[in-house]
Amino acid sequence: MYAFVNGPLVWIAFAVFVVGSLWQVMSLYKMSKRTDKVFYDHYNPGAARASVWAWLMPLGSRPLRESPATALGFFVFHVCLILTPLFALGHAVTFEFNRGIHWPSLPDGLTDVLTLLFLASALFMLGRRFVLPHVKIVTEPKDYFVWCVTFLPFLTGFLAYHKMLLPPDQMLFLHVLFGCMMLILLPFTKLAHAFLFFLTRAFIGSEFARRGTKTW
Amino acid sequence: MSDQKPVNAEEIMAVIERNDTARLRAWLKTCMSCGLCSESCFFYLANDNKPEFMPQYKARVTLGELIKKKGNVSREQLQEMKEVAWGRCTMCRRCSQYCPFGIEIALMINIARQCMRTQNVCPDRLMTIDQSYVEFGNQMSIPDEEFVETCEWMAEEGQDRLKDLEIPIDKEDANIMFVVNSREPKYYPQDIQEAAMVMHAAGENWTMPSHGWEATNLSMFSGNLKVAGQVTQTLYDAAQKLRAKKICITECGHAYRAAKYEGPYWTKQPNGQAPVEVTHAVKLFHDYLKEGRIKLKHKFKEPMTYQHPCNLSRSGDLGAYGDGLMEMLCDNYVPMQPDAEWSHCCCGGGGFIPMGADYKKIRMVAGKVKAEQIKKTGCKYVLVPCHNCTDQINDLNKEYDLGIKVMSFKELICELMDLPPHMQPGDEEEAE
Ligand code: SF4
Ligand code: SF4
C-alpha cells in the first residue's frame, strides 16, 4: 500500500491530471467549433490577452480593486497554492532522487511560511462561505468537498514536516495520498477552473471588446 | 388555473439543447460560487443585500433548475421562476464584468426566459407585444399608414421651427435610414420632428421606411427569439430595399443592441454582422457636432448629468460617444459614479417598462440605486438617450422626489442649435 501510494499512484495522478485536463480543453474546443460561432466571429486576441492578464493581477480589475480584502485573500491563496508544491524542497529532492533531474527549490523556512499563508487564506475562503449570506446561499456540498481536497495536502504536508500528530511516515503517506487525490480530481471537478479560467476569460474579453467595452 | 396545459418538458429541453454551447458548459463548470458577482447587481444592492437577489443564485434557481430537472417542473415552479427571471434581472450584464470568469448570468436568464416562453409563462404584456409585432410589425399595433401620416404631420408642423422641414419616406440610396421606437408615433411624435430637424439642419441625406420603421425589439426580452428574428429581418430588408448605407436607431438602447449585436445571429447572417451597417442617434449626433455640421448658439449652462444606458454603453460601443456629445453640448457635464460601461442599470431595461403596472413596485424599489446616483451629482437635468430609461427615470423622479428634468439629445440639440439663416422660418407668414 505504502509502496503503491508513494510510487505508481503519484505517476498515475500526474498522468490523469495532464491527460484529463487536455481532454477537457480539447472536447470543449471541439464543441465550441460547432456551437460558438459568436466566439469565432469576434475573437480578439489582444482583448483576450488583456482580459486574462488584468484578472491575474491582484488589483488589475475594477471589481477586485473595489473589494481589496477579498482580492488579497484570493491572491495569497492561489499564489501559495501554486508556488509551494512547485518549489518545496522536499518535492525537489524526491524528484531529483527518482528522476535524476535537478529542480529549483525554496528553502524549507520559506516553504513553511507559504504553507501557513496558504492555510490561513484557505480558512478565510471557507469562512466567507459560512459568514457571508450571499456566498452561503450559493454554496453547495461540492464546494466544501473541493475545499477539503485542496486544503488537506497542505495541512498534512505541514504536519509531516513538523512531525506532529502522527508518525512522520504515516503523515507523509496521507500527504501523498491527498496530493494525488487533488491532481486526479482537478480536471473533473470545479477545480478545473484552474485552466477553464483562461478559456472563459478569452471569450468574455473578446465578447465585450466587440462592443467596445472592457471587463477589467 | 385548471384549464392550463401541463408543462411540456420536451419544448423546454429543445430550448436548452439549442443553447447548449461550449461556453455555457464552461460557465457551469467554472463557477466557484464565490459570490463576487453579488455587489455588481443593483437588484441586490437596492434590496438590502438580500442573498436571493445575487446574480448566480438567480441563474441557479431558474436555468439551473430547468437543466437539473430536465424540464420536468410544475406550473407553480415556472411561476416562481418567472418572478425571478423577469422580476429580478434586467439582463444588464453588469455581473459579467464582475465575475472573475466572465460568466454571463444575463445570458442564462435569457435562456431561462426562452424556456418559459415556450410554456406561455411570461409577463402578459410582453406576450401581447410579441403578438403585435407579428400582426403589425411594431410593438404598439400602429398601421404603417398611420405612421407615415404622423411623419407628414410632424414635418408640416415642424416647418414653424425649421423652414422646409421634410421627413422623406422611402427615399432610395439615402445615407441614413432612420428608425424609431413606436412609442414616438404613438405618444411622442415631437421626437420624430426633433430628430428630423437635427438631420435636416446637418444636411443629411436620410429617409424613413414606410414599412420596417420599428426599431424596438422587445421579443428579445420576452424570450420569443423567433419573433425577435422576424423584427430584425424586417429592419434589414427595409434598408436593403432602399439601398440605405446605414440604419440609424433612434435614442433607444435595446433596439441598438438587438439590431447590431444580437440580430445578426437571430437572422443567421454570415460573420455575425448586420448586412447593413447599424449606427445610433448618439453616434450620428456626436459626429454632426464634431464635424461642425451642427453649430450651437451656446452650450447648456446648468449642470447636467448623463444616464449611460446599459445597452448603449455596456452592451454597445457608445459610452465614449455619449460622454463626448455631453461635453460638446454642456458647459457643466457632471458624470454619475460609477460611469460609462460600469454604470448601473436604471431598472427600465430587460422589458421592465412594457411589463407594466404589475411590476412597477419592483421597478421603483430596484431603481433606488439609480435615483441615488442621480442625487449625488446634484444635477437638476439628466440627459437620457433611451426611451425605457426615460420612462423609468421619470417614474423615479416622482417616487424619490428628485426634482429633475429628463431630456433627450435631439430635444437638447434642437434647443441649442444655431440654424443658418436659410433654414430659419421667415416672417412672411406673419406679415400676411
Ligand atoms: S458567477 Fe462568477 S462571480 Fe458569481 S459566484 Fe459564480 S464565479 Fe463567482
Ligand atoms: S444582468 Fe444585471 S440585473 Fe441581471 S443579475 Fe446581472 S447585474 Fe443583476
Nearest CA in chain B to A32: B22
B18 touches chain A (CB under 8 A): no
- Confirm whether A216 is domain-assigned: no
| Neighbour-count burial for B29-48, b at 16+ CB within 10 Å, e otherwise | bbbbbbbbbbbbbbbbbbbe
Pocket test for ligand 2, best of B92, B98, B99, B343 (most atoms within 8 A of CB): B92
Nearest to residue A187, comparing CAs of A12, A32, A28, A19? A19
| Neighbour-count burial for A91-126, b at 16+ CB within 10 Å, e otherwise | bbeeeeeeeeeeeebbeeeebbebbebbbebbebbb
pLDDT at B1: 46
Percent of chain B exceeding pLDDT 90 equals 97
pLDDT tens by residue, B203-254: 999 999 999 999 999 999 999 999 999 999 999 999 999 999 999 999 999 9
- Confirm whether A27 is domain-assigned: yes
ipTM score of the complex?
0.94
- Confirm whether A18 is domain-assigned: yes
pLDDT tens by residue, B70-86: 999 999 999 999 999 99
User: Residue A212 — pLDDT band, cuts 50, 70, 90?
Assistant: confident
- What is the mean predicted confidence (pLDDT) over A57-65? 91
> CB–CB of B366/B46 below 8 Å?
yes
Pairwise CA distance, residues B315 & B82, whole Å: 24
Query: Helices B189-201 and B281-290 sit at what angle, rounded to 10 degrees?
Result: 30
- Confirm whether A15 is domain-assigned: yes
- Domain CATH number, residue A53: 1.20.950
Instruction: Kindly list the residues from chain A whose CB atom is less than 8 angstroms away from the CB atom of residue B317.
Output: 211-213
pLDDT at B427: 57
- What is the mean predicted confidence (pLDDT) over B322-335? 98
pLDDT at B431: 42
- Confirm whether A43 is domain-assigned: yes
User: Residue B387 — pLDDT band, cuts 50, 70, 90?
Assistant: very high
pLDDT tens by residue, B309-328: 999 999 999 999 999 999 99
Give the torsion sign (CA, B192, B196, B199, B205): positive
Q: Would you tell me how many other CB atoms lie within 10 Å of the CB of residue B338? A: 14
Residues 6+ apart with CB under 8 A from B186: B140, B142
Q: Inform me whether the pLDDT recorded for A2 exceeds 80.
A: no
Pairwise CA distance, residues B91 & B75, whole Å: 23
Q: Residue B425 is placed in which grid cell?
A: 422660418
- What is the mean predicted confidence (pLDDT) over B161-189? 96
Q: Inform me whether the pLDDT recorded for B17 exceeds 50.
A: yes
B35 to chain A nearest CA, in Å? 5
Nearest CA in chain A to B50: A134
Total count of domains within chain A: 1
- What is the mean predicted confidence (pLDDT) over B334-341? 95
B298: which DSSP letter? Answer: S
pLDDT at A214: 84
Q: Inform me whether the pLDDT recorded for A1 exceeds 80.
A: no
> Which residue bears the cell 495532464?
A18
Atom of ligand 2 nearest to the CA of B98: 7
- Confirm whether A90 is domain-assigned: yes
A75 to chain B nearest CA, in Å? 12
User: Residue B2 — pLDDT band, cuts 50, 70, 90?
Assistant: very low
> CB–CB of A200/B102 below 8 Å?
yes
Domains observed in chain B: 9-122 (1.10.1060), 126-290 (no CATH), 304-416 (3.40.50)
- Confirm whether A158 is domain-assigned: yes
Q: Residue B282 is placed in which grid cell?
A: 448618439
* pTM of the predicted structure, to 2 decimals: 0.94
Domain that holds residue A15: 2-210
How far is ligand 1, taken at its centre, from the CA of residue A66, in Å? 16
Pocket test for ligand 2, best of B41, B44, B57, B257 (most atoms within 8 A of CB): B41
User: Residue B428 — pLDDT band, cuts 50, 70, 90?
Assistant: low
- Confirm whether A215 is domain-assigned: no
Question: Looking at the partner chain, which of A41, A63, A140 has a beta carbon nearest the beta carbon of B36?
Answer: A63
> CB–CB of A216/A50 below 8 Å?
yes
User: Residue B186 — pLDDT band, cuts 50, 70, 90?
Assistant: very high
Pairwise CA distance, residues B101 & B81, whole Å: 25
Q: Inform me whether the pLDDT recorded for B3 exceeds 60.
A: no
Q: Inform me whether the pLDDT recorded for A183 exceeds 70.
A: yes
Nearest CA in chain A to B256: A211
Strand extents, DSSP E, B331-404 = 381-383
